[in-house]
Amino acid sequence: MSGDVSSLTPEQLDALLNGPALAPPDGVIPNFENPPNKNYIAAAVVPLCLAVTTIAVLLRVWARVFCVRKVGLPDALMAVAFGCYLVEIYIGYRLQDNPGSFVHQWDIQLKNMPDILFPLFLSASFYIGVVLTLKAAILLEWMRIFIPYGVRNRFFWLCYGVLGANTIFYVITLFVMNFACVPVQKNWDPLYVGGSCPINTQAVNIASAVLNLCSDIFILLLPQRIIWGLKMSTKTKAGVSFIFAIGIICIIAAGFRLGAEIAYTKSDDVLYSISPVLLWALAEMTCMFLVFGVPSGSKILSDSRLASRLASSLRSLKGRLPQRSSSRDSGSGSATWPSSSMMINNSNAHSSRTHYRKMDPNGSLLLTTGDFSGSLPPPSSESTEYLKEQALQHHHHNITPPEAGMILRTTQFVTREDFGGYERAVLMSDGYERQHPWAKDRI
């Protein structure tokens, strides 16, 4: 088009720029003011993907920062991927605003095409940024989980082989896509005069989508043999496989993206055809974040220290709440802190009596008492002073002391192991000594 533009008169050029960017079909009148669109699809998909991805990222961050208390290279790669993902979200919202999702190109003026195509051109680069870093993070994380420290087995070399192949492939694709035209501006500006585009970007896009789909399938199948070879119950294996099987949805999204990419390369209506490509790419990236982040949810739920601290806090709060005295008919009664009562079985005692062992809040043993439903009147107070006085009165009533060996009190202890320096990072965080005891000599 650049040659045609350079040969036009000013009046012809003005008419061309204000005309449709693509010749409409017969009988169709271009609508520049309010072009028909399907923004409702993007309005549902984009915020849903953003919400799901944010939850997956927060699960990963919470598990690594507050449970494991250690971050590594996969977490840094996830942060980079999430930054690129947010740019994709912004482009999705911008597409809704200008020109709109699923808008036909003949409803857009030619002069507005460079401003519309530029963010779409950037979208391909940020998509590569997400899949490159996130797939590397997934592979590194799986090597950390499934390969013992210091072991170099077949799974280790397969992971690094896939990681290296993905890195080389996506870096080359990124370079080719950005420098397909010289100068670079010609990639998104159809009105640019001069320059050339020696690389067929349509063929590059299709090849990229095919190899990306194959990569997704291979990464999903890579750990399944190890998972089903672990010494654990079938139910547990199925649960672990289900977590990783979220990648099946990712493969489905990548397959639909490949189909949309093929349709995009065959269509002259690039604005309308690019919308499904972007939405399926967004769904694929969201599933990748789920594959990487959802397994951290089980770590959060199974963190014993978090559960014990919560239970300890609840017990402490319950113990500090004051209770009213059960007897208010005497002026000597007063509110006291609750004391512990342990029931004692006594076969020799009268059947109408139930005996208890009273303890003060500090756990000190006070005396043995009964319900006094028979010969003696009910007590008027539960204070410590009253219990000591009643002990003297009931000394001659032959109340049998507790039998030897009976459990009067149980105490729960919470222990915590502290390490320092390198030992804490290795033993406490990743737990290599517990998970792989045969490798402890290598730490």
Q: What is the pTM of this model?
A: 0.69
pLDDT at residue 381 is higher than 70: no
Give the pLDDT confidence of 111-134 residue by residue, as tens digits: 999 999 999 999 999 999 999 999
pLDDT digits (tens, 9 = 90+) for 183-236: 999 999 988 888 889 998 888 989 999 999 999 999 888 888 887 777 777 766
Averaged pLDDT for residues 227-255: 77
pLDDT band at 398; cut points 50, 70, 90: low
| Average pLDDT of every residue of the chain | 77
Whether the pLDDT of residue 163 is over 80: the answer is yes
Per-residue pLDDT at 390 exceeds 70: no
Say what the pLDDT of residue 344 is: 43
Q: What is the 3-state secondary structure (H, E, C) of the chain?
A: CHHHHHCCCHHHHHHHHCCECCCCCCCCCCCCCCCCCCHHHHHHHHHHHHHHHHHHHHHHHHHHHHHCCCCCHHHHHHHHHHHHHHHHHHHHHHHHHCCCCCCCHHHCEHHHHHHHHHHHHHHHHHHHHHHHHHHHHHHHHHHHHHCCCCCCCHHHHHHHHHHHHHHHHHHHHHHHHHCCCECHHHHCCCCCCCCECCCCHHHHHHHHHHHHHHHHHHHHHCCHHHHHHCCCCHHHHHHHHHHHCCHHHHHHHHHHHHHHHHHHHHCCCHHHHHHHHHHHHHHHHHHHHHHHHCHHHHHHHCCHHHHHHHHHHHHHHHHCCCECCCCCCCCCCCCECCCEEEEECCCCCCCCCCEEEEECCCCCEEEEECCCCCCCCCCCCCCHHHHHHHHHHCCCCCCCCCCCCCCCCCCCCCCCCCCCHHHHHHHHHHCHHHHCHHHHHHC
State residue 168's pLDDT score. 95
Q: What is the mean pLDDT of residues 75-81?
A: 96
Give the confidence band of 408 by pLDDT, cuts at 50, 70, 90: low
Region 34-57: what's the mean pLDDT?
Answer: 94
Write out pLDDT tens, residues 323-377. 554 444 444 444 444 444 444 444 444 444 444 444 444 444 444 444 444 444 4
